[in-house]
Structure 1
Amino acid sequence: MMDGILSELGKRIADRWFAFLILPGVPFAATVVVAWAMAPFGAVHALDLDLLVRRLDTHGATVTTTKGIVIGCLLLGAVTVTALLVRELSLAVHRLWTGRSNALCRVMNPGIQRRRRVALDAAENGGYAVPERYLPHRATWIGDRFALVDERVAAQYGVSLARVWPRLWQLHDLRTPKIVTAAWDEYAAATVRVAWALPYAALSPFWWPTLPIALTLICLGWSQGRRGADDFCLTCEAAVDVQLRRLAHIVGVSLPHQRVTVAEGHEIDRILAKGAYLPLPRTDDDAQRPSR
């Protein structure tokens, strides 16, 4: 369902190589140079700008030499390798944020129960009930938000989001894909931002200011990820709400109520499945078996 859509979209992080990986690699390369320059002076002088300037001036003459060119090439190669690592880490961050792991759910169970209580208390104060299928059950808030899209679409229309989404995507006007893609890019950028925290943290033994930089990236990335995930889920639901009637007409499902109900949704799902879930053929033994 939504997990399959997210897996496909997660692979598109690599498509944004320049914006998500190369551009952040420039300040990281500068940080590596500063860490290398300040490491011999210890933590006390880590923020001594005068010392940093003198240190860089001392080694600035080697930039145009063969040794400097070799060092520059090694630095460029190291940053490229780091960017490749960050790309893989961003996918790991995405999998972590979806919160589907049973082990992670067991570890985060207190947080899950707290979110359930908050949802139930809000419903009680508002005078309405929350279906059990809508309550939090994944390890993270972002994972619950993604899972909720599946549940809401299935409850309202009786269709599988993963099955109807590729068809709905082809029915959209030019504006809708841009909105959905922008929301996804916001979320994907957040996973990359958190992934960049690890290389910065790895530099902290040599230059301690990179540690607060890493912590800042994690906090900002988590906040940005929540906003991006929420916007993405809202745009996906809106796309289903707007275009599902049109899809019903295209596949030949009549709408006697002028809207898609669960019954029509099941019919749409059956058509799109293309016989993948046909009933088993009856055998002679089944025909002779008395009905209960």
Structure 2
Amino acid sequence: MDGVLSDLAKRVADRWFAFLVLPGVPFTAIVIVAWAMGPAGAGHALDLDFLVRRLDTLGTTARTARGAVIGCLLVAGVTVVALLVRELSLVVNRLWLGTSAVLCRIMRPGVRRRRRLALEEARRGAYAIPERYLPHRATWIGDRFALVDERIAAQYGVSLSRAWPRLWQLRDDRITKVVSAAWDDYAAATVRVAWAVPYLAVSFYWWPACPVALALALLGWAQGRRAADDFCLSCEAAVDVQIRRLAHVVGVPLPRRRVTATEGRRIDGILAKGAFLPRPDESPPPGV
């Protein structure tokens, strides 16, 4: 699933207007207000009368050559910030994946708690939960993405990172819309959290920007959890719907009219282009 996410993360650049330009407009307004309110000091950061007087002064300055230069510099600065936010969104995504060894050590108590809760839920539901399905990453979102890999491998014996590019080629319009919408929602969440950083930087000059940064971070985190779950469900559903077509395309017969782990390992071996390395307790797929 990590490989799928790395490939889809590039789509943030394709949605630059919705993800970067539009959020840059309110950020520009906040920067202007912070610049205007700076001389008032922290105690008068919400003084509307002072803000109106300062904006009148800035409006007069904006009509001069000096104001034009300042305006150009402001637009250039916000553009640079938007580009930095794009890169920060990729960092947010990596942090949410929870694969960093350092982050795993820091979040170890949280991982143990999620494992305990998962086992308690399984006992209440009177069902067994395999060890490979238990949380092991530093974050809930990372565990949710990892679970898709494990479930696909357990059910079909196929590596999702190898199968997904081929399944994406076989997709129909309905699958494309569902998966793309879920991914766009997740990507928007990473960008929203990333925008909290420049707002936090502005708060050192004008403190009311700090609650805005906190709200963006919390809303983005909540949106990210919800979107990650939707994205994982849509990806898993896409595999369930298309896996038989993939078997037909690569020439693997289905004697049971469905893909079992046996056929899945044959598909995986074909997709691996001869790089299949069997475990000690199994033989390589036929034809590899």
TM-score computed with the length of structure 1 as normaliser = 0.93
Match of 1:211 in 2: 210
- 3-state SS of the aligned residue for 2:120? helix
The alignment yields a C-alpha RMSD, in angstroms, of: 1.1
- How many residue pairs get aligned? The number is 278
Once the 2 structures are TM-superposed, how far is the Cα of residue 277 of structure 1 from its aligned partner? 3.0
Instruction: Give distance in 2, aligned partners of 1:60 and 1:106.
Output: 53
Kindly provide the CA deviation profile for residues 52-71 of structure 1, in whole angstroms up to 9, marking residues without a partner as x. 11110122112121011001
Per the alignment, residue 45 of structure 2 pairs with: 46
The Cα of 1:12 is off from its aligned counterpart by 1.9
* 1:69 is the counterpart of 2:71: no
* Structure 1 counterpart SS, 2:204: coil
1:290 match: none
Structure-2 residue corresponding to 1:288: none
The higher radius of gyration belongs to 1
Name 2:116's counterpart in structure 1: 117
Q: Which residue of 1 aligns with 2:185?
A: 186
Partner of residue 82, structure 2: 83
Q: Distance in 1 between matches of 2:158 and 2:258?
A: 13
Q: Does 1:272 align with 2:276?
A: no
What does residue 106 of structure 2 align with? 107
CA deviations on 1:178-228 (whole Å, 9 max, x unpaired) are: 110110010000000000001000011211100010000000000000111
Aligned equivalents of 1:147, 1:58: Cα separation in 2:
55
Distance 1:201 1:195 in 2: 10
User: In 2, distance between residues paired with 1:24 and 1:59?
Assistant: 23
* Aligned 1:4-43 pairs, distance under 5 A: 4-43=3-42
Between 6-15 and 67-76, the greater mean CA deviation after superposition: 6-15
Identity %: 73
Q: Which residue of 2 aligns with 1:232?
A: 231
Q: Which amino acid aligns with 2:232?
A: C
Could you list the structure 1 runs, at least 4 aligned residues long, displaced by more than 4 angstroms after superposition: none
Secondary structure at 2:62 match in 1: coil
Equivalence for 1:60: 59
Report the more deviating stretch, 46-55 or 103-112. 46-55
Secondary structure at 1:44 match in 2: helix
Distance 2:219 2:165 in 1: 32
2:70 match: secondary structure? helix
Equivalent-residue separation in structure 2 for 1:264 and 1:153 (angstroms): 13
Instruction: Tell me whether 141-150 or 3-12 shows the greater mean CA deviation.
Output: 3-12
TM-score by length of 2: 0.94
Moved more, 98-107 or 8-17: 8-17
Matches of 1:59 and 1:79, distance apart in 2: 18
* Partner-residue secondary structure (3-state), 1:123: helix
Does the CA-based 8 Å contact 2:40-2:50 persist in structure 1?
no
User: Secondary structure in 1 aligned to 2:45?
Assistant: coil
| Aligned-partner Cα distance in 2 for 1:251–1:60 | 67
Given residue 25 of structure 2, which amino acid in structure 1 is its aligned partner? V
Distance in 2, matches of 1:152 and 1:277, equals 20
